[in-house]
Amino acid sequence: MSDYVPGKDREFLDWANGLYDYAAVHYSPWNVPPPQTAFGALMENYQTAYKAAVSPDHSSVDILRKNEARGALEKEIRAYVKEFLINNSLVTDDDRKEMGVPIHKTTRTPVPVPATYPALKIDTGVPRRLLITYHDSASEKRGKPEGVHGAEVRWAQLDKPPADVGELINSSFDTKPPLILDFKEHERGQRVFLCARWEINRDGEKGPFGNIEEAFIP
Averaged pLDDT for residues 90-101: 94
Residue 4 lies in a domain: no
Predicted pLDDT at 204: 66
Mean pLDDT over the full length of the chain: 91
Q: How far is CA 157 from CA 83, 191, 201, in A?
A: 60, 6, 29
pTM over 0.75: no
pLDDT, tens digit, for every residue of 13-44?
999 999 999 999 999 999 999 999 999 999 99
Residue 119 CB-density burial (10 A; 0-12 exposed, 13-18 middle, 19+ buried): middle
Q: What single DSSP character describes residue 68?
A: H
Distance (Å, rounded) from C-alpha 183 to C-alpha 167? 19
pLDDT, tens digit, for every residue of 105-146?
655 566 677 889 999 999 999 999 999 999 999 887 777 787
Both 67 and 130 in a single domain? no
Predicted pLDDT at 201: 67
Q: What is the DSSP string of 41-65?
A: HHHHHHHHHHHHHTSTT--HHHHHH
Query: How many domains does the structure of the chain reveal?
Result: 2
Both 207 and 122 in a single domain? yes
Percent of the chain whose predicted confidence (pLDDT) is above 70: 94
Both 65 and 132 in a single domain? no
pLDDT, tens digit, for every residue of 5-21?
999 999 999 999 999 99
Both 128 and 93 in a single domain? no
What are the helix (H) ranges across 81-188?
A: 93-99
Domain ranges, residue 26: 9-99
CATH code for the domain of 149: 2.60.40.10
Residue 34 lies in a domain: yes
Residue 86 lies in a domain: yes
71-79, Cβ contacts within 8 angstroms, sequence gap of 24 or more: 72/42, 72/45, 72/46, 73/16, 73/39, 73/42, 73/43, 73/45, 73/46, 74/5, 74/12, 76/38, 76/39, 76/42, 77/5, 77/16, 77/19, 77/39, 78/1, 78/5
Does position 104 have pLDDT exceeding 80, yes or no? no
Residue 157 lies in a domain: yes
Question: Among residues 141, 135, 103, 96, which one has the least CA distance to residue 118?
Answer: 135
Residue 106 lies in a domain: no
Residue 108 lies in a domain: no
Both 75 and 164 in a single domain? no
Sign of CA dihedral 183, 187, 189, 191: negative
Does position 49 have pLDDT exceeding 60, yes or no? yes
Does position 2 have pLDDT exceeding 60, yes or no? no
pLDDT, tens digit, for every residue of 162-213?
999 999 999 999 988 899 999 999 999 999 999 999 988 655 688 999 999 9
Both 210 and 140 in a single domain? yes
Distance (Å, rounded) from C-alpha 28 to C-alpha 84? 12
Residue 153 lies in a domain: yes
Q: Residue length, the chain?
A: 218
Both 87 and 21 in a single domain? yes
Residue 112 lies in a domain: no
Distance (Å, rounded) from C-alpha 134 to C-alpha 207? 15
